Structure 1
């Protein structure tokens, strides 16, 4: 398993990364590197864009407001993440920020807000979500940056599922499941071999009876519980992604 240098500053860039490239930092990044981190001409950083791996780069500082990032060499090749989409009913700002960051840390490959009958927040700031995704990736040595997808209503999502992504199985975390143990259902899926998954976590008020019935009627849905206790939505995200990664994802014994 490739490791990254915990001591070096990491920076996400929206540019193609290739040997010999020299990239002008945008104003916000230049201010952060020069004035916040107090970095100087010749200092080194690690940069990534989610596509071209991780690169060692050298700063060329030009005054207090500008710098160029010169790529030296690739230090880690691009990784392929576990193919797990994280679908969730939006929460209010601070807890949504936390949940997005933890989903990135836990290896989600895409994040999509899903509007349900009991969803607390009616609007989602996708730019803020993307900023939290990038911050989590920078801080945790992640190279593959998850996609931030447009919100969908639950009914819209389900009705278009088999046309949009027919191979992907949806894992529905149901607090009303008949058992409290998710492992048997996940073990049965593991026996079928690798496949793409999506995880659906509901709002604080839970899914309505109508939504629960609709989900359970879909042939591409597997119902899983999350233990004997009621979890807050942001806690449920970490718990569910952990157990899924351990049984179906890149924590498993075959990886």
Structure 2
């Protein structure tokens, strides 16, 4: 049977008891049918990945004990996604796929034509954690608090942002990435697109560049995933041998 892989918050060191997070004990015992002595792989975003064993399992409470480090901690390429919140299913799908693509942080930004006025931060964090467990990354992406687009740009640290431009004569994203290295970010607007005023304000920021994402009109969730894949392939950790 496959070995479960779990994110935990506790420090990981050989022989030190690690308590499971809420829900993980139920998952191990009732879903995965694990018992005391069975193997579980653990990561916490700091100490690499460890092979552990189940020391105790009672209902939803479990204690795991790391036995051997499998992989050292590796740095995550600082690729960020700024995204106008989408409807629930689409937003959760983007968070899942962005996590699989290795994004370092996700920043929901409210825009004039956005149709979603709030996000479920706890739910999106859970989606990201479960995706990280499945895709074997060693950390979790940060899900930033949702902010108005202009406030987010005002507080931005100057990291280059590429705005997915659906029409016009913007240079292709691969062209703009030539010679670039992280940190880098992608900004994707709502289904209805940015307003002209938003584009004017965004365009005045010295760290923002418009980028074409191909010859077709993409849905917002498609643009987010496609853009991140290009960033990772040309400037992110896809260029680093495993």
Distance 2:23 2:206 in 1: 47
Q: Does 1:183 align with 2:170?
A: no
The runs of 5 or more residues in structure 2 that have no matched partner are none
Structure 2 counterparts to residues 14-163 of structure 1, below 5 A? 14-161=9-156
Between 245-254 and 92-101, the greater mean CA deviation after superposition: 245-254
Deviation at 1:231, TM superposition (A): 0.8
Are residues 21 and 244 of structure 1, via their aligned partners in 2, closer, same or farther at CA, if it must alter by over 3 Å?
same
Q: Report the aligned-residue RMSD.
A: 1.9
Deviation at 1:237, TM superposition (A): 1.1
Deviations 1:106-146 (A, max 9, x none): 11101110000011110111101100110100010010211
Contact persistence 1:109–1:145 (CA under 8 A) = yes
Distance 2:10 2:60 in 1: 20
Give the one of 155, 165, 175 matched to 1:174: 165
Distance 2:216 2:6 in 1: 39
Distance 1:10 1:43 in 2: 12
Distance 1:107 1:74 in 2: 22
Deviation at 1:27, TM superposition (A): 4.7
Deviation at 1:7, TM superposition (A): 3.8
Structure 2 counterparts to residues 188-199 of structure 1, below 5 A? 190=179, 193-199=180-186
Residue matched to 2:200 = 213
Distance 1:62 1:211 in 2: 53
Deviation at 1:26, TM superposition (A): 4.2
Distance 2:183 2:172 in 1: 22
> What's the secondary structure of 1:251's corresponding residue?
helix
Distance 1:217 1:254 in 2: 37
Deviation at 1:173, TM superposition (A): 0.9
Distance 2:139 2:97 in 1: 15
Between 78-87 and 22-31, the greater mean CA deviation after superposition: 22-31
Give the alignment's TM-score, normalised by structure 1.
Answer: 0.89
Q: Does 1:236 align with 2:223?
A: yes
How many matched pairs?
Answer: 242
Contact persistence 2:182–2:236 (CA under 8 A) = no
Are residues 211 and 39 of structure 1, via their aligned partners in 2, closer, same or farther at CA, if it must alter by over 3 Å?
same
Give the alignment's TM-score, normalised by structure 2.
Answer: 0.94
Are residues 62 and 125 of structure 1, via their aligned partners in 2, closer, same or farther at CA, if it must alter by over 3 Å?
closer
